[in-house]
Structure 1
Amino acid sequence: MFDTNLLKTFLAVVDARQFTAAGTILGISQSTVSQHIRRLELACGRPLLERDTHAVSLTPDGAVLADFARKIIDASRQAVDFFAGSAPRGRVRLGISEEITLTRLSALLREIGQAHPLLSIELTVGLSSALFQKLDGGGLDLVLAKRPAGDDRGIVVHRERPLWIAHQDFRLGAGDAVPLVIYPTSSITSSLAMEALVNAGRAWFVACSSESLNGLRAGTLAGLGIMAQSRLLLGDPEGQLVAIGPEAGLPELGAFDFVVVGRSARMSGAIGTLADLIVEKSPALWP
């Protein structure tokens, strides 16, 4: 059995790449750090670190142990939390806007599940405006979505300016009426598109509408019109969706914020734990 104290010292050295810095982080002396590493290498029967006058690096066996050590310490912490009754548990009703399903959302959910296996997530995917309405009506506990105009709630995790997007073969003259592919109900991106066109004095009409992002994508791929959406839509495997160039004379679109927001400003328990994790990990969702 590996002593978790030795493993913690080992990981501190791995992360700091110096014995002295690792000792400072842990609040122990450099000689104690050296003793811990020596005891760990004796337990493994193999050298774990390569030392020189400037820094410390991992041997191949050390790299393997570092991976094991992180898992052992994480499992030990989860076990302590569980039996201490402090591990977050329970169901959280989480709303996610459709665009975010095009990001590393599955990786984020996997990390959450590994860190807090007692949390149960009930996932709802939909329009941001609809998610906020459901949150306000008590149907959701937490939302990660675009923040509606005039709403100052939530913690901003990403700011984005949407693009005019069309099929690669679609052509639009600078004086042509703009065929829009939009949601039939109120949405943040559709409102931005219509407001920008009206302010620019540009004629437009609804060429295709759909309640789902997949429907908008299909209509745009079919060449029925253009949509104002997140640049995440450009990640089409076949590369058929492209951002429209300046030759079309389209106006600039405003920006919007993705936020994490709960039913109240102060979140605790399972909801607070999940909110904190999402705020921490969300920046990695967008390329």
Structure 2
Amino acid sequence: MLNPIWLRTFVTVATCHSFTEAGRQLGLTQSSVSEHIRRLEQTIGRRLFVRDTHSLSITPDGEAMLAHASVILHAIDRAQAQFRAPRLKGRVRLGSSDDVALGPLPTVLTAFRNAHPDVELEINIGMTGELYELLDAGTIDLMVGKRRVGDKRGAVLFTSRLEWLAPTGTVVDLTQPLPLVLVAEPSVTRAVVLDALAQTDFRWQMVCTSSSHAGCVAAARGGLGITVRSQYLAARGLAPPVNASSLPTLPDVEFIALAAKRLSRPAQTLLQLLHDSDLRGSWIGE
């Protein structure tokens, strides 16, 4: 068993290249430092340091152990910090665009709930423009949504290119107006797509408008037309058309988080978790 006390002593010795200095930093005698290293080496059956009266160098096995020990000690420190801290209590009012809610948001909420089970979550789903209004009115504490690249409001979580989606295997008839399935106004995606089309010679026809991305996905699955989503927000049963390279190129959008000026500790904690999480992870939306 790798005793964390021995590991901490080992990392300190490896960092400062001295048994004496390691003892000073840890408040241990030099003999105690030597005993920790000896017992760690005995446990793993490998030499970690080569040392004599004039020099100290780490072995290849020591380099490998240093990488593992750093990870182990970091995990221990994080666990201790979590359970020493007072349990968070209260409520967080979170606003989310529905495409994010159908995608990476559940993973973040699960992590938050597991770490802070006493915090109540209230989730509002809406268009980014609507979420801005709720935030300004004090109805929600923080929000996640998207904006055009270059807009200023909010802190960027990640950037993603928009892509065309249709039932798998679809070949779009380019001799006909593009059959569009888009979210109703006010929608960042709708505005970006229509602006992009306006700069091309493509003809288009709005065949279906929905109040949500989930509705657009359902309509596209039903073969009504082609819809648009972020490349990180793929949907079951939909894929880029076979001739997607012949369709207009769509721009990037930025997914953002934005919070009220004054946040409770639970809201601050969730906001930090959103910033720390990789929302571009592997998952499939509905």
TM-score by length of 2: 0.73
Alignment match, 2:84: 80
**1:244-263 mapped onto 2 (5 Å cutoff):** 244=241, 249-263=246-260
1:276 and 2:282 are equivalent in the alignment: no
Alignment match, 1:55: 61
Alignment match, 1:21: 15
User: Could you give the per-residue CA deviations for residues 113-157 of structure 1, whole angstroms, max 9, x where no partner exists?
Assistant: 344444332222333222222212221110111026774122111
Contact 2:9–2:37 (8 Å) recurs in 1: no
Query: Which shows bigger deviation, 136-145 or 244-253?
Result: 244-253
Q: Please give the alpha-carbon distance, in whole angstroms, between the structure 1 residues aligned to 2:98 and 2:137.
A: 20
Residue identity in the other structure for 2:267: I
Question: Judging changes above 3 Å, is the alpha-carbon distance between structure 1 residues 171 and 78 closer, same or farther for their aligned structure 2 residues?
Answer: closer
SS for the counterpart of 1:234 is coil
Question: Judging changes above 3 Å, is the alpha-carbon distance between structure 1 residues 165 and 23 closer, same or farther for their aligned structure 2 residues?
Answer: farther
CA RMSD, aligned part only? 3.8
Alignment match, 1:141: 141
Percent same amino acid among aligned pairs?
28
Gapped regions of structure 2 (runs ≥ 5): 49-58
Alignment match, 1:128: 128
Contact 2:164–2:244 (8 Å) recurs in 1: no
Contact 2:167–2:223 (8 Å) recurs in 1: yes
SS for the counterpart of 1:147 is strand
Question: Judging changes above 3 Å, is the alpha-carbon distance between structure 1 residues 263 and 276 closer, same or farther for their aligned structure 2 residues?
Answer: same
1:176 and 2:176 are equivalent in the alignment: yes
Query: Which shows bigger deviation, 275-284 or 220-229?
Result: 275-284
Residue identity in the other structure for 1:183: V
TM-score by length of 1: 0.72
Q: Rg: which structure is higher?
A: 2
Alignment match, 2:7: 10
Task: For residue 160 of structure 1, report the CA deviation from its aligned partner.
Answer: 1.0
Gapped regions of structure 1 (runs ≥ 5): 1-5
User: Could you give the per-residue CA deviations for residues 9-60 of structure 1, whole angstroms, max 9, x where no partner exists?
Assistant: 63786xx6x8513889x98369666545667x7xxxx9368545223457xx
User: Could you give the per-residue CA deviations for residues 158-213 of structure 1, whole angstroms, max 9, x where no partner exists?
Assistant: 01110011112433233321111012332111111111122213222221222222
Residue identity in the other structure for 1:121: L
Alignment match, 1:204: 204
